[in-house]
Chains A and B, each alone.
Chain A
Amino acid sequence: MNENQSKLNIGLSRMLCGGVIMDVTNKDQAKIAEDAGACSVMALEKIPSDIRRDGGVARMSDPQMILEIKEAVSIPVMAKVRIGHFVEAQILQELGIDFIDESEVLTPADESHHINKREFKSPFVCGATNLGEALRRISEGASMIRTKGEAGTGNIIEGVRHLRTIIRELKMLTLLDECELYAEAKRLQASVELIKEIAITGKLPVPNFAAGGVATPADAGMLMQLGAESVFVGSGIFNSSNPSKFAKAIVEATTYYKDPNKLMEVSRKIGMPMPSLSMESLSERDKLQHRGW
């Protein structure tokens, strides 16, 4: 990926800001998402809560299924590959996907390496739980970062923790002396160049989106108020009692996130959120957020 490709790919990330990216498993769901105002859809065979329930190995979806969704909508289409699985990524690039999510929701294919995303033309989004992880992904060529949260739980606590952590660590870098940045790069296991850049800007060099556990318009509003630039909703739309209403409400909540009156309006009479899980009910080895290195 040369400098121009990186401008194009980060450029597309910027155009997705202030929007909602929704998981969809077929073209009917993709149409519902587009009609509700999603700025992009994530095509996958099973939403995270079903992947969690079913267990086994979760892989890239059938390219045919992704193509059908691509043909059904006019908005950008994303799809997931397993962490480190560069051949799945080659297949999605060949298929002409708009964005590749190297995702902890699928079963990792490599226990120590992520994909070298600089070898690809297609843009990548990667999950992160803290700044060091985000910066390692950016060094590998990610054009967008999202928090991992805990996908498929409908529980926002992990997403909030990851977002607060990343933003606090970004702010802290702006307070350090230049000579302290080297030790900080060592502590975060991240590139000194990126650390120096953030010490000046206080921001990631790519957009910072939130994902994992979003179940209600209020969840989306909270992540936006905490500083996310867009919101991914996985199981939260199509496992709710009224997907179309939830989708529209979450889109509006993301635009009008600073307006409690609007948030109240959109939260009314939309039905039941997805069935959700407490973190105490998950063992550490069941947590998807620990996948990725």
Chain B
Amino acid sequence: MIIGILALQGGFELHEHKLSELRVESRRIIYPKDLNNVQGLIIPGGESSTMLKICNELFFDDLKNFAKLHTVWGICAGAILIAGKVENPNQKSLELIDFSIQRNAYGNQNDSFIAEIKFGFLNDSLRECIFIRAPKIASIGPSVQSLATHNEEIVMIEQTRHLASTFHPELSDNLDFHEYFLKKVKNAV
């Protein structure tokens, strides 16, 4: 199994470390052709507007086509890229999961924070979650499932094979979220 990590800009390298700890092969995706033989895709944190500018129309369509069959996990900026609708400001997105998201909704870097959050798929145990200039999930569609909340804000969701989280599991010392993603990749295949 090969997991692709979109590497146009951002925190892609830390996902490589997580996947190698889990003994899973990974590949940086910078051209559409890199998606060949890839079974799942992580869109990492970074600046969503930068990734959009680098990603041309063709590449954008190839990512959409890839997602028709495979699992995609969007993290922070990646969650913005896969949202159904983006606010503050409006921008184009892949529309993989039916939810709307607000960019920089918590404020600037001084408002970035760390919280201990309970996850149902981890038997209600707590995990450290790191939010960096994070977006907020403003609303979710009826077929979208919330996987965790913090102060009543939804921070992780799934819809069929896709996943989105507004925090950065790659910055914390656990592998649980990458394991959960890999399980979804295998189920989709």
Contacts and interface: CB of A to CB of B under 8 A. Distances in A.
B46 A39 contact: yes
B158 interface: no
B11 interface: yes
A281 B54 CA distance: 38
B160 interface: no
B109 interface: yes
B50 A11 contact: no
Most buried by A among B10, B53, B107: B53
Contact of A8 (B13, B14, B76, B132): B132
26 contacts: A7-B114, A8-B109, A8-B114, A9-B109, A11-B112, A12-B109, A15-B46, A15-B133, A17-B9, A17-B11, A17-B12, A18-B8, A18-B9, A18-B46, A19-B46, A36-B53, A37-B9, A39-B9, A39-B50, A74-B104, A99-B109, A122-B109, A123-B109, A248-B53, A254-B9, A255-B54
Contacts of B133: 12, 15, 76, 98
Given A75-B49, A96-B110, 12 more contacts: A4-B114, A8-B113, A11-B171, A14-B45, A15-B132, A16-B10, A16-B47, A19-B46, A98-B108, A251-B54, A255-B30, A256-B30
A150 B53 CA distance: 29
B117 interface: no
Interface string B126-150: 0000101100000000000000000
A37 B54 CA distance: 7
Interface of A: 4, 7-9, 11-12, 14-19, 34-40, 70, 74-76, 93, 96-99, 121-123, 248, 251-252, 254-256
Most buried by B among A14, A16, A123: A14
A109 B90 CA distance: 42
Contacts of A35: 53
A71 B9 CA distance: 23
Contacts of A96: 107-108, 110
A271 B107 CA distance: 38
Contacts of A14: 11, 13-14, 45, 171
A76 to B, nearest CB: 7
B77 interface: yes
B92 to A, nearest CB: 14
B108 A74 contact: no
A102 B30 CA distance: 33
A17 B107 contact: no
Contacts of A4: 114
A75 B109 contact: no
- Please name the 5 residue pairs, one residue from A and one from B, whose CB atoms are nearest each other, closest first: A37-B53, A98-B109, A39-B47, A18-B9, A14-B11
